[in-house]
């Protein structure tokens, strides 16, 4: 899951070296992925009206269902 989000974010960012994804495991089988990027790239990753971020979250949920966990994405 982490690799999927990292690949998408690096493809969108103009500074892919500054993109980092951290996986935080919580209780009850929930995983939180924290995406950090350069300040200039946040707009590209979030997209207009949050559509790109929403699409990334949908893909993350689909992948999480396959692994039988719950997952969420935070963009910092």
* Tens digit of each residue's pLDDT, the chain (76 residues): 899 999 999 999 999 999 999 999 877 889 999 999 999 999 999 999 999 999 999 999 999 999 899 999 999 9
Cα angle at 29 between 59 and 46, to 5 degrees? 30
Please name each of the domains of the chain with its CATH number.
Answer: 2-75 (3.30.300.20)
pLDDT at residue 50, as a whole number: 95
């Amino acid at each position: 899951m982490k690799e999927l989000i990292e690949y998408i974010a690096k493809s969108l960012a103009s500074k892919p070296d500054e993109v980092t994804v951290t996986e935080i495991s919580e209780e009850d089988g929930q995983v939180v992925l924290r995406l950090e990027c350069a300040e200039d790239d946040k707009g590209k990753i979030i997209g207009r009206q949050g559509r790109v971020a929403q699409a990334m979250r949908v893909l993350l949920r689909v992948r999480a269902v396959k692994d039988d966990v719950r997952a969420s994405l935070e963009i910092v």
